Amino acid sequence: MAKQVTRSMADEAAKQLASQVFDKKIELAEQAERQFGDELIKKYIPAPILAVGVEYSSYFINKSKYLGFATSFGGQIQSNIVNPISNKYIQIEIEDYKHAKVLIDKRKKLQQDKGDYMSKVSDALLQLKSFKRIKENFPEALPFLNFAETTALIPQFTELRSLLNN
């Protein structure tokens, strides 16, 4: 029987390959974003409010690890610090906004690139179809493809054809 790639096999392999390429980069971008978010929370939310938020956390229903900021465009940045007043947008300086926007856009771009890469890898594997062609053209994907569970195209039609003969 010929070893053929299925859509689910291609998608799973693409997901694993994309994780290898992008997960560490995305993690570093998120860390940089959260670190700057921490700085913004410390800079723009008074320490006594943060302390009350920690001490009486049950009174702050909408707390989160985001800081909403108000500029002409607005936005939210991730943080490691729990923001007790996350439903309030804080007015921040334009320099802080620009730096936050760069960090947020970098993370979003990496996430988008990961999705695009997964799609392209999956499509490429489906175009190559067979074990032999993948081995020749994209051998890096072989460890992520489980050909042991695949079957040739003919058995897929056996059941369909048997229904016609009944």
In tens, the pLDDT along 99-131 reads 999 999 999 999 999 999 999 999 999 999 888
Q: What are the C-alpha distances in Å from 105 to residues 26, 75, 99, 125, 147?
A: 11, 11, 10, 30, 39
Tokens for 58?
């049950």
Q: Cα–Cα distance between 41 and 54 in angstroms, integer?
A: 14
| pLDDT value at residue 158 | 67
77 - beta bridge partners?
Answer: 67
Q: Cα–Cα distance between 161 and 109 in angstroms, integer?
A: 48
Averaged over 136-140, what is the pLDDT? 92
| pLDDT value at residue 71 | 66
* Model pTM score: 0.79
In whole numbers, what is the pLDDT of the chain averaged over residues? 87
Averaged over 54-71, what is the pLDDT? 85
- Is residue 70 left, alpha or beta, with left meaning phi > 0 and alpha meaning psi from -120 to 50? beta
Pair 96, 123: CB distance under 8 Å: no
In tens, the pLDDT along 67-109 reads 888 766 678 899 999 989 888 888 999 999 999 999 999 999 9
Closest to 63 (Cα-Cα) out of 47, 45, 89, 82? 82
Res. 27 pLDDT band, cuts 50 70 90: very high
pLDDT for 149 beyond 60: no
Tokens for 21?
């390429």
pLDDT for 160 beyond 70: no
pLDDT for 161 beyond 90: no
| pLDDT value at residue 36 | 96
